[in-house]
Chains A and B, each alone.
Chain A
């Protein structure tokens, strides 16, 4: 197949294509197990194979994909034809930022391939979790295990040839109960990534059992708790909600295709403008955020993006000032041209596709907040007059330009005069992005920093679900509207 791809890359170049690439997935396997209240509701394995081809012709993209590889030439021809038609309506001819031609490979670090583990062992793990969660107060419980293993061959007309072999594991447990007012409440555990690898060995049964006990205890406190207060106060966001705050209002807001208007008809735009880079005070001096695709143990690390650009660690926000974005080869060229200056020095290596049949677009890698100097969670609580400690992503809704947001959390703890007090239920908060991040008054140290995975980030048309990560410390924001 590689020879056939090379032949077609040359052929389309000869026909006038400016650039061509192909992503051939010889095989992608996944395995999904879902146990609800002791019943193994999903016991699924799956596989897929196929190829996607992208052609740049006269400043426009065409893409075609098929699972039918009996005639791969047809996929290239169709992609070329799609580009030819697209070139009839071009306002800014697409150019690609320079990159080196790379012949290389990437293998995600793992010790134990989860596909070598028998189904019986995986089911036994879920049964143990189910038993651990089956406690008083819990009326619904479930555990999930998802495993992915994919081989991707990337080849382009600039001479790159990259093979990626990636394994991911996504385990979680959830417990639900009915509160004193008849409302459904829930707590969940999705383990942070602590080890250097991301295979089956990263699922630590002892850790899961300890956290099952913790979430049941917290759930039972929520079930008898009063509602969270309304009003303006400090919120101390644990990584279990701060990762989503970061995801929605830093990550998505700084995707360069959104900033340039390429997502307006679906996901939305961004309040950030090109002239903001290097100037905009996004947050307080305590805020430093980065896109770090070099974390070894996260699905946001992939070796090379689907432009064939190596993964990188880049600052996005430096001590509160906006300095970078999540970029691919196409968008940085357009942004620099539109800004009439060089804002971006090449692609940041964040152009990714969710499968062979989707086109690469700017996606988050690991969008992290650097640890701060405000000590442990206990230290931050001790320095808080009045507010809430919040955890758990129950609900999220964000303005179309990421300019404002509303979050609901699974659990809150009241803080009064530096003391963590009783649990409260149904906590919500909302805000406007820039004022919110400028009210960041405390960032926890490394002891509070957790690398969370996200396995369901949606974007694009056609839609794509992407996996990524967020390394996040505890953060405190002041004067936040709570309880609407």
Chain B
């Protein structure tokens, strides 16, 4: 961790104190690189170096905040930000509850997810990675798209209560590679999340893409009839569904605001398949977990679902303050979600294709544009995309056009769950809206669920 960051925070703390502010001061720095591909070319090559500061001032029940993206050498502008905050605070309307002011009891430095080699990755290396993963797979009709995003994120906090600081630094990479037919409009993809340079595996992505391209070129395409199917979900689909379920259903805020499909009395009840266990685990470095939340709460593994039993809601500090609950260390930008592995030895796509089966299986690796249709019913909708396969019980393979699923969380993770892979995969769900904030889930390679309803089936690619 750079001493400059700590020095800046200490300096800003003194400035805040001088203005009579009781304040939390947060620092965010990103050094981001993104190489984007389209139509088999680099369509964009970017980098952004941005430094953001957030000041939150407290005066009893009054709160105000000021955020800035700022030149790190322009201390005068930072002080003006504090001046603005001091002007805003008296006019804030008091809350109906007492907000907690963060007081850090010790210095925290967590750089476990930081890898200097990944931080120093060059333009040439990003290009070489993509050239390797696509080698021999492109043609006049089959085009490469995708992006290689990597960066370093540094965050740090100090409060005016004392001189203790919390500092976190991580590196991350998110790679998506798409091969698509320009004439037929089919698309297959391969993705990877990396926390360190040695995680990067261009050959692995090449193998995944080659297998899917072979099936999409050689196997018969099909419009599936609507109806119920046994579906095997890939890690992208599983991670996105779990992420939405946890966000909309398993936070104290969602519970109190009436959005959750779960109720307070559901804690301890078996609502999901006993094959399903889900936890927030800050110990898993490769999913960019943090050891302390913004209020200095030491984060520990937090079971959400244990063998099908829903355990507890996650409470951030503000919601806990408002509703008289105990915070659970969840004043973080995202939980660090892990779905436990299962017992199935089906751990690769080739093994899934080759497995003996007594019924047809629809493989859906990825769900496009999911949204919550009815939060209190836990109902979501989305379409399959990127490399779905229809695995016939006679062993043959067909390529299905995209289908739409509109189902409840209990349909995905309830009694219809058949099996989960032994192998877990890290799937990167980072959004690059706004600040860099690496986020990934660790989920089984496959989850098989029966009786998933397909409500619409495209007539073509």
Q: Which residues of A contact B (CB under 8 A)?
A: 35, 38-50, 60-70, 78, 81-83, 85-92, 118-120, 123, 127, 139-140, 176, 178, 182-184, 260-266, 268-269, 357, 359, 394-401, 403-404, 406, 408, 426, 428, 430, 432, 458, 461-465, 484
Q: Is the CB of A463 within 8 A of B42?
A: no
Q: Is the CB of B368 within 8 A of A83?
A: no
Q: Is the CB of A89 within 8 A of B42?
A: yes
A268 to B182, CA, bound (A): 13
Q: Is the interface of A mostly helix, strand, loop or mixed?
A: mixed
B259 within 8 A of A: yes
Q: Is the CB of B92 within 8 A of A428?
A: no
- Which one of A35, A62, A83, A395 lies within 8 Å of B373 (CB-CB)? A395
Q: Is the CB of A265 within 8 A of B65?
A: no
A432 to B383, CA, bound (A): 13
Q: Which residues of B contact A (CB under 8 A)?
A: 32, 34-52, 63-73, 77, 81, 84-85, 88, 91-93, 95-97, 123-124, 127, 130-131, 143, 145-147, 149, 176-178, 180, 182, 185, 187, 189, 257-259, 318, 322, 368-377, 381-383, 385, 402, 404, 406, 431-434, 455-456, 458-459
User: Which residues of chain A have C-beta atoms less than 8 A from B51's C-beta?
Assistant: 67-68
A401 to B458, CA, bound (A): 11
Smallest distance from the beta carbon of A41 to chain B beta carbons, Å? 8
Q: Is the CB of B41 within 8 A of A92?
A: yes
**In the complex, number of A-B residue pairs with CB atoms less than 8 Å apart:** 254
Q: Is the CB of B71 within 8 A of A265?
A: no
**Residue on A nearest B31 in the bound complex, by CB:** A66
Smallest distance from the beta carbon of B137 to chain A beta carbons, Å? 15
User: Which residues of chain A have C-beta atoms less than 8 A from B185's C-beta?
Assistant: 269, 401
Q: Is the CB of A92 within 8 A of B88?
A: no
Q: Is the CB of A395 within 8 A of B42?
A: no
Smallest distance from the beta carbon of A464 to chain B beta carbons, Å? 8
Q: Which of B37, B47, B67 has the most CB of A within 10 A?
A: B47
Smallest distance from the beta carbon of B100 to chain A beta carbons, Å? 14
Contact status of A264 and B42, CB under 8 A, knowing A397-B371, A463-B432:
no
**Residue on B nearest A50 in the bound complex, by CB:** B69
Smallest distance from the beta carbon of B133 to chain A beta carbons, Å? 13
User: Which residues of chain A have C-beta atoms less than 8 A from B375's C-beta?
Assistant: 184
Smallest distance from the beta carbon of A188 to chain B beta carbons, Å? 15
**Residue on A nearest B44 in the bound complex, by CB:** A61
Smallest distance from the beta carbon of A26 to chain B beta carbons, Å? 11
Q: Is the interface of B mostly helix, strand, loop or mixed?
A: strand
With A91-B40, A263-B38, A461-B34 already in contact, 8 other A-B pairs whose C-beta atoms are closer than 8 Å = A39-B96, A43-B64, A45-B66, A67-B52, A86-B35, A89-B127, A261-B39, A266-B147
A400 to B44, CA, bound (A): 21
Smallest distance from the beta carbon of A337 to chain B beta carbons, Å? 12
User: Which residues of chain A have C-beta atoms less than 8 A from B127's C-beta?
Assistant: 85, 88-89
Q: Which of A47, A397, A408 has the most CB of B within 10 A?
A: A397
Q: Is the CB of B406 within 8 A of A484?
A: yes
- Which one of A40, A139, A261, A394 lies within 8 Å of B145 (CB-CB)? A261
Smallest distance from the beta carbon of A35 to chain B beta carbons, Å? 8
**Residue on B nearest A458 in the bound complex, by CB:** B433
Q: Is the CB of A119 within 8 A of B44?
A: no
Smallest distance from the beta carbon of A329 to chain B beta carbons, Å? 15
Q: Which of A39, A266, A458, A463 has the most CB of B within 10 A?
A: A39
- Which one of A43, A50, A91, A394 lies within 8 Å of B92 (CB-CB)? A43
User: Which residues of chain A have C-beta atoms less than 8 A from B43's C-beta?
Assistant: 61, 262
User: Which residues of chain A have C-beta atoms less than 8 A from B257's C-beta?
Assistant: 140, 176
26 A–B contacts from the bound complex (CB under 8 Å): A39-B322, A40-B63, A44-B67, A47-B77, A47-B81, A61-B45, A65-B49, A67-B70, A68-B71, A70-B73, A89-B40, A261-B145, A265-B38, A265-B145, A268-B368, A268-B385, A357-B48, A359-B44, A395-B374, A395-B381, A396-B371, A399-B404, A400-B187, A400-B383, A428-B373, A463-B431
Q: Is the CB of B385 within 8 A of A63?
A: no
> Which 5 pairs from chain A and chain B are nearest by CB?
A48-B69, A46-B67, A462-B432, A86-B42, A85-B123
Contact status of A43 and B258, CB under 8 A, knowing A182-B376, A265-B176:
no
Smallest distance from the beta carbon of A71 to chain B beta carbons, Å? 9
**Residue on B nearest A264 in the bound complex, by CB:** B145
- Which one of A45, A70, A178, A268 lies within 8 Å of B84 (CB-CB)? A45
A81 to B43, CA, bound (A): 15
User: Which residues of chain A have C-beta atoms less than 8 A from B369's C-beta?
Assistant: 268, 397-400
Q: Is the CB of B45 within 8 A of A83?
A: yes
Q: Which of A67, A139, A182 has the most CB of B within 10 A?
A: A67
Q: Is the CB of A50 within 8 A of B433?
A: no
User: Which residues of chain A have C-beta atoms less than 8 A from B93's C-beta?
Assistant: 35, 39-40, 43, 123, 127
Q: Is the CB of A64 within 8 A of B72?
A: no
Smallest distance from the beta carbon of B331 to chain A beta carbons, Å? 14
Q: Which of B48, B50, B52, B458 has the most CB of A within 10 A?
A: B48
Q: Which of A78, A139, A462 has the most CB of B within 10 A?
A: A462
User: Which residues of chain B have C-beta atoms less than 8 A from A64's C-beta?
Assistant: 46-48
- Which one of B39, B45, B368, B433 lies within 8 Å of A262 (CB-CB)? B39
